[in-house]
Amino acid sequence: MPFFTDQMNRTIEIHEKPQRIVSLVPSQTELLVDLGLKERLVGVTKFCVHPKGLKKQKTIIGGTKNFHFDKIAALQPDLIIGNKEENYQEGIEQLAEKYPVWMSDIFNLEDAFNMMVGVGEITGTSIVANSLVRKIKNDLDLHFEKKGTAVYVIWKDPLMVVGANTFIDDMLNRVGFDNLIKNERYPMLAMEELKSLNPDYLLLSSEPFPFKRKHIEEFASLLPMATIQLVDGEMFSWYGSRLKYAKTYFLGM
C-alpha cells in the first residue's frame, strides 16, 4: 500500500492512483492541469483562475481559507492538495480526518521544484513533472543583472510588504533585486519607514491587493527618486507550473 510524505513531513496513504482530486491552491491547480490531470480534478477554489475557464467546469469548494466542507464531501475526493501558508490549519485538519491531504510548504524555488516532483509522484505523473522541473530550472539558471534595492508591496491599508524567508523574497533575489525588508514573512510598514528605506525600486504587486497605475502617483510623492513599478504578482508568487513563463517576464522587467 503506497505511502507518500508531503512537505510538512506528514505521511499520506493512497490506496490507488487518485481519480478525484480537489485543489485548495490556485498555483497548484494550474500545475495539476499541466500534469495532464484536468479530468481527474473535480474541485477548485474561487481563486483558481488558471487555466482560463476551468472554474466553470469544476465545483467551487470556497476560498483558500474558507472551505465548504459539504461541497467537498459531495465530491468524494480521494486526494486533496493544499499548502500550509495559503490554507488554514483548522480546515486542513478537519479534511485530513476523512481524506488523504497532501500539503506543500514553500519558502524558495527549490521547495517549489520539490513540490512539483512530489505532486507528480502521488498522482502518477512523475515523467511530466520531472520534465517540467527541468525546463524551469534551465529557464531560470541565468545571471540576471543586479537592479538595486527594492521593497515589494502586497497590501495598501495597512501597508504590507514582503520580508525574508518567503518565496517572493527568493524570487526577488534571483532576478537581481536586493530586498530591503529583513523581517520575516509579511510585515506591516509605516509610510515614514518606507520613506527612510529609500529603495531604488518600489514594486507594487497585482495581488493580493490589486495595485493599479493610479497608485504609482500616490507613492511617487513619497519616493521621488524611486522607480515605482507595477508587477505581475503571479510571476513572483505562483510556485507551480506558471514558473514556465517566468524567464520571459523577468528578462523584460
Paired with 62 in beta bridges are 67
CA–CA separation, 192 and 190 (whole Å): 5
Domain co-membership, 49 together with 20: yes
Helix, strand, coil tally for the chain in percent (to 5) = 40, 20, 40
- Domain final residue, candidates 139, 159, 193: 139
Interval 4-27: pLDDT, tens:
999 999 999 998 899 999 999 999
Per-residue confidence band for 157, with pLDDT thresholds at 50, 70 and 90: very high
Task: Answer whether 203's CB lies under 8 Å from 229's CB.
Answer: yes
- Domain final residue, candidates 93, 120, 139: 139
Domain co-membership, 133 together with 162: no
Crossing angle for the helix pair 109-123 and 167-174, to the nearest 10 degrees = 120
Q: Number of folded domains in the chain? A: 2
- Domain final residue, candidates 78, 108, 139: 139
Task: Answer whether 162's CB lies under 8 Å from 240's CB.
Answer: no
Domain co-membership, 73 together with 193: no
Q: What is the pTM of this model?
A: 0.94
Per-residue confidence band for 143, with pLDDT thresholds at 50, 70 and 90: confident
Domain co-membership, 72 together with 159: no
CA–CA separation, 198 and 140 (whole Å): 29
Domain co-membership, 86 together with 187: no
Q: Phi, psi (5° rounding) for residue 250?
A: -70, -35
Paired with 205 in beta bridges are 231
Here the CATH number for the domain that contains residue 62 is: 3.40.50.1980
Domain co-membership, 171 together with 109: no
Domain co-membership, 45 together with 100: yes
Ordered alpha helix ranges (H), the chain: 26-34, 54-57, 69-75, 89-96, 109-123, 126-140, 167-174, 191-197, 213-220, 233-237, 246-251
pLDDT value at residue 1: 53
Domain co-membership, 99 together with 211: no
Task: Write out the DSSP string of 7-22.
Answer: TTS-EEE-SSS-SSEE
Domain that holds residue 156: 148-251
